Structure formats: C-alpha cells, structure tokens
Structure 1
C-alpha cells in the first residue's frame, strides 16, 4: 500500500488528529512538515493541494483533501467503513457530527486558541479563550458522566477530533485538574492500540 502523504505542522492539533486517526487505523503514511513561518503553506504547489493554504492536507495516490474533520471521514470511509468509527445508528451518527462541530467551534475557540497564544505567540484574546475552554470542559465533564466516549458507546471519530487540543490544553494555560472525567477520557484514548502522541510544548505557570 502506498503511504498517504500528510502535510502538517508537527505542533498543530488539527494535523495531529489526522495523524492519530491514521495510526489507530494502521494506515501507512509519511509526513511533510511545512515551514509555515516562511510561507510554505502559501506556495503555489501547496495551494493546488489545499486551496486555502491550510494544514493538514493529504495526498492519497493523487486524491488530495484538506480540513482535518473531512480527512477523518475520508480515512474511516476508505479504510475502516464497518468498524464503528462513524456509527450506523442515526442518533449516534448525529451525536458524532455534533462533536465534530464542537471541535471546529468551541474546541478551536477555547483550548486551541489559548494554546496558540502561549505556544505560537498569536494575538488571540487569551483570557477569553481560557474562559471558553473552561465552559467547554465543564460541558464535556457533565457529558462524560456514566459514559466513556463522546459520541457513542465506543470510540468514534468524535473522540479523535476532540483529543489533541483538549489533552494539550495545559500548554495554553488551561488547568485540567478539575475535570476528572475528561482526564480519564484522555487516558482511554492514549491507551488505544496504535496511539501516537503530538509533540509537547512547555506548560506555562498557572496564575
């Protein structure tokens, strides 16, 4: 099987969720780290793969696709369509989709944005991002009462999409210690066969 090429930044949670999915599925892949500080993601050759100049993007034998959640759907559909990563039950499938939307909204605006400030020095409103992260984590903590996974009674792409930025939230100054169920969920994902982690950054001192 020809490896899939993953274009990424090694400290991007969006990229990591794709790499994690491929690792959990046992899909051969190779990574190409883009020098985004020097505009590699805006180069014409890359824009043909990812028209908005965003990572992650993949090239699977000439089929190219950008957007991390879309890539998760593609990977599961082509390599494990019957393994339950996207549930067949309409209610569970809808719940998974809801968490994909949360990954693109609340997770991005909360723990992701807070981490962008501390790790990459962006100009996001850090206090607002931390506040939104704690609102998100409170919802997750309540949601995980009496259940192990976000979208169904087994691990799904919802968990893969949510993991990276939540697990690395302390790098953005977001304390996970009040959220025992969320931390247990993180541990369950990290115990899955094939799990691969994301490069860690220093954790800032919490005020």
Structure 2
C-alpha cells in the first residue's frame, strides 16, 4: 500500500520527504495541496493535521507531519537497519546533530532572510544575510575531511542538508566561497537516489520563482 503524501511541488520540506522515500524505495500517493486556495484549511485536512502544515503523510490511517519526523518514521518502519540512520549510537548522534543544525541554524537563518523577500516583498536584510554566511561557514568546517556529512556513508543528514543547500543555491546565495560544501554538494547530487527527480526539478522550479520575484522588484 502506498502512503498518502500531502505536499506542494517545489516545497523544500516536501522535497526532503520525497528524497528520503526514493532512498528507501517507498512509494507515495501524491496529493497536491493548493495553499493559495486554502486546501490546508479545509475540515477534511484539519482532521488529518490540525496544524495544517505540509508535508503530511497518512500511512494506513496513521497521520504525521514535519519533514524530519516523517523521514525518521519512514526509516524506522520501512528500513530500520538502513545505513541512512544506523543503530550505532555515536553515528546516530552525529546524524541527529547535523539534522538539528540544519533545523535550528542553517535552514532557520535562510528562511528568516529569504521568506520575507519572497512572500512579503521585503528588502534584503544585510545582517540576516551575514548570519547565513556564518552558518555556511559552520557547515564548511563540519564537512572538512569528511566524505559525507556524518561520516563515510550517505545518511539522513546528507539528505536533510542538501535540501537546504540546494535551496540556498537556487536563490543565488553564493556557495562557491565554501569549497567543502561545494565538493559535498556535487557528491550528493550524484549519489542520492533519484536526486534529480525528487529534488533537482523542485530546485529549478524555485529558481524560476525567485527570478520572477527579482524581475518584479525592479
């Protein structure tokens, strides 16, 4: 039985769930949620997710939201011995740290800087931009001497982080000053299963939206 995935094409958190699903061989029954039309506020969706956020999954009657929680659930249920999230406590702790770094620092700073510009027409905030540069510097140090984000193998940490880094790249925030990030990014694009289908297309969609936003602001 496939899992219902309520999502929005191009959404970074939704892309993460799709990328993890591809790595695990999990199939989704995709249900496109039109946020502009208020699909997420309809009674039938609120019964599934009272927080009315995407992505949301329904797996045999079990509903869950938040992309990172969904990703771990998929691994626990469908591939608990997967190298994406090994049982070794030190490796798992390292993965968790990288995932938490993304949520609390890298993605958080990116969203704080770019979302007001994309959805509210705000001007770029230089101080917030500097915070993104600092976060990318942290990631560059984390990746120094490492093949992948949490060691020698592809893990959940890489899939989480590549969503953010690719999204940062899509809105023309330079990553070239961070050689370890660039090297790692190119590696993930060639080793994450179905990367182009599950993430690359969404990145290009976002790149186009951002280009339109910049054109409208001129």
TM (normalized to structure 1)? Answer: 0.88
2:37 match: 38
CA offsets 1:139-170 (integer angstroms, 9 cap, x no match): 11111111111123211111111111211203
Q: Is 1:63 the equivalent of 2:70?
A: no
Q: Judge conservation of contact 2:117–2:123 (CA < 8 Å) in 1.
A: no
Quote the residue 2:194 is aligned against: 194
2:99 alignment counterpart: 100
> Which whole-Å CA distance do the structure 1 matches of 2:22 and 2:105 have between them?
25
How do 1:118-197 and structure 2 match up within 5 A?
118-121=117-120, 126-192=125-191, 193-195=193-195, 196-197=198-199
Please say if residues 118 and 172 of structure 1, whose CA atoms lie closer than 8 Å, have aligned partners that are also in contact.
no
CA distance in structure 2 between the partners assigned to 1:121 and 1:189 by the alignment? 32
**Residues 74-121 of structure 1 deviation map (CA, whole Å, 9 limit, x = unaligned):** 111111111221122212111111122122211232233444345444
Contact 1:109 / 1:129 at 8 angstroms: preserved in 2?
A: no
State the alpha-carbon separation in 1 of the partners of residues 59 and 123 from structure 2: 34
| Stretch moving more, 90-99 or 120-129 | 120-129
What SS class does the counterpart of residue 161 from structure 1 fall into?
helix
Instruction: Quote how far apart the aligned CAs of 1:172 are.
Output: 3.2
1:161 and 1:50 map into 2 onto residues whose CA distance is 22
Judging changes above 3 Å, is the alpha-carbon distance between structure 1 residues 115 and 23 closer, same or farther for their aligned structure 2 residues? farther
Paired residues, number: 204
Task: Measure how far apart 1:16 and its partner are.
Answer: 0.6
Could you tell me how far apart the structure 1 residues matched to 2:152 and 2:90 are?
A: 12
Change in CA separation of 1:48 and 1:126 when aligned onto 2, cut-off 3 Å: farther
TM-score by length of 2: 0.84
**Is the 8 Å Cα contact of residues 6 and 31 (structure 1) preserved in structure 2?**
yes
1:27 to 1:112, Cα distance in 2 relative to 1, 3 A:
same
Q: Distance in 1 between matches of 2:113 and 2:170?
A: 8
Runs of 5+ unmatched residues, structure 2? none
